[in-house]
Amino acid sequence: MSDTTQVNTVNKEIFGLAAEFNEPEEILEAANRAREAGYKKMDAYTPFPIPDLDEALGMTNTRLGWLVLIMGIIGGTTGFFMQWYANVIFYPLNIGGKPLNSWPNFIVITFEFTILFAAFTAGLFMLARNGLPQLYHPIFNTPNFASATRDKFFLCIEAKDKNFDPEKTRSFLESLNPNQVSEVER
């Protein structure tokens, strides 16, 4: 045996720091102050929606509405021209002297294609944007986090934020007077 033993140091990687609050006003104020301090990669976990919390976290509107509108228009156009091509160009049938391009007959399928394209776009974009399905999230390692569904409010500043420094961020969060500040491990 050698007389030098190598010490195995475990370098635990952290996801961020989470502060626990009792009242919705406290987390709203904490989120505002964190954004003013320059933190951008943060999230809040609350048992119910809090007005203006999204703005306090620095979240902006997405382009999802415009994307759904564009895909709905593309879907409607696709549905209409698919029927037009089939009835006028590919397989024209003159039935009872009706015109080949009888657009009132195309309304139902055009509507269905509009809804189909828009709904799938909204659903898939939402899943991709939210990173779902996600079976595990590090925030669940936070002590007392189960109470976020009942009566506590959590603000987590993530370690990937450019202003994140474990000591400075901890002292900043402690200056907000939370119940506790916890290290969130990956």
Domain ranges in the chain are: 14-61+137-185, 64-129
pLDDT for 94 equals 86
> Which one-letter amino acid corresponds to residue 96?
G
d(CA 75, CA 58): 34
pLDDT for 9 equals 39
Eight-state DSSP code of residue 90: I
pLDDT for 61 equals 87
- Measuring CA to CA, which residue among 178, 179, 173, 140 is closest to residue 157? 173
pLDDT for 184 equals 94
Q: Mean pLDDT per 10-residue run, the chain (186 residues)?
A: 42 87 96 96 96 93 93 98 95 87 93 98 94 90 92 96 95 96 93
pLDDT for 145 equals 94
pLDDT for 102 equals 87
pLDDT for 3 equals 43
pLDDT for 8 equals 37
